[in-house]
Amino acid sequence: MKRLAAFALGAAIVGASLTVTPPAWAADIPTTIAFANDGELSVPFGSEWDLPIRVTSKSDRGTYDVTTNDGTVDIFVEGMPGEYVTAATIYPGGMVYFAPPANEPALGAGEYSITAVFTPAAGSDFATSKTKKAAVVTITTIGVTPAAKLLTDPSVVTVPTVRTSLSGEFVDDTGVPPNGTWTVTGTDSAGTEAFSITADQPTESDEGAVGPLDIPITSTLEPGETYEVRTVFTADPLIARGIEFENPAPASFSTPSLTPAEVLSGPVTISMWIVVLNGVLFIGLVVLLVLVLGVWSRGRVAKEPASDSQQPVTAPSLEGTPTVAAIGNVTPVASIESAAAASHTESASDESVSNEDDAENDAPERE
């Protein structure tokens, strides 16, 4: 009885070992690789997940589990070049747990067809196999809520500031906001862009939790002007494929107008066009003044009398009598006889005047 019991126990041990490892005499043993749970999986973007895969060997002599040393598994994603996961480890029970690798970009929102291939190790007795039915992994989008608040109270901020924040399902699941950038753009009342500021969204801080991000508007703003401010969040391309959100609505603010004292004491801004226009007008006035002075000068010269400078005048001559030249305004003498007669008349006039003077002087003596 003891011998029979020992034989039965030995047979049971041998039988049990056949379900774990293949016999040494086997060669190119067929294998089967398949996804567990029918290969159906739906998960939100950014969450942790895995897809179980089992590798077994079945023959007319029994079923065997493929182990770690027997080979590895490569995983392919339809639409992506090459292997998405290379040489995944086979754990006890022939199990492989497919999860997105850390060195590969996360799968964005969408539906993916997954296949797996078992590659036996060198010297292994197992044959290569591929999944007959592809698994379908569905990645759903996850919500993010960007928010922006415009701060203009001088008691709170020194310059207008946009306070941004991110919340929603993504932040709740991962504990951090998604990577990305903020862009703050302002346009004036004429529709002209006045400023554009870009800031990175932090995903970690020294305190652990990431709070709101303040973006100050440090650009020079016109006094008494109204600005429309648009705040846009742009997610990192690796994350943008799996999140959905709407950017905040635009906001507006107005800068205070200058007081009369500020207007008088402030610098005067002169447009370059005004400077050019003033220069052109100045040159035109100078040219016009030169033309007017030239016309006036020519008119004055034309109206002036003939010159008083003495010119020699030829007196009319009598026949046989030489002419005498007169100088200046002196009336020319027609002939020598005329000159003698004029001299005699002047002498007589002088004698008459002398006699009258003598008569006046002798009058007292006669009395």
Residues 64 and 117 placed together within one structural domain of the fold: yes
CATH number of the structural domain spanning residue 171: 2.60.40.10
Tell me which of 123, 140, 157 is where a domain ends. 140
Cα(205)–Cα(126) distance, integer angstroms: 52
Q: What is the mean pLDDT of residues 73-91?
A: 92
Shared-domain flag, residues 30 and 65: yes
Domain boundary among 206, 228, 259: 259
The verdict on residue 343 lying in a domain is no
Mean pLDDT of 200-229: 86
Q: Is residue 172 part of a domain?
A: yes
- Which helix (H) or strand (E) segment holds residue 71: the answer is strand 71-77
Q: Are residues 184 and 247 in the same domain?
A: yes
98/181 same-domain check: no
Q: Are residues 229 and 168 in the same domain?
A: yes
On whether residue 170 sits in a domain, the answer given is: yes
**Domain that residue 69 falls in:** 18-140
59 and 120 in a single domain? The answer is yes
End-of-domain residue from the set 90, 116, 140: 140
What would the two tokens of residue 135 be?
Answer: 């698994």
Regarding whether 41 and 78 lie in a shared domain, the answer is yes
Model-wide pTM > 0.75:
no
Which of left, alpha, beta for 174 (phi over 0: left; psi -120 to 50: alpha)? alpha
The rounded distance, in Å, linking the Cα atoms of 23 and 15 is: 11
User: In angstroms, rounded to a whole number, what is the distance separating the alpha carbons of residues 133 and 38?
Assistant: 9
Asked whether residue 47 is domain-assigned, the answer is yes
In a domain, 205, yes or no: yes
**Per-residue model confidence as pLDDT tens digits over 93-150:** 899 999 988 877 778 899 999 999 999 998 888 899 999 999 999 999 999 999 999 9
Does the residue 55 lie in any domain?
yes
pLDDT, tens digit, 9 for 90 and up, residues 255-314: 988 776 655 555 655 667 677 788 888 898 888 888 888 777 776 666 655 555 455 545
Does some domain include residue 347? Answer: no
Domain count, the chain: 2
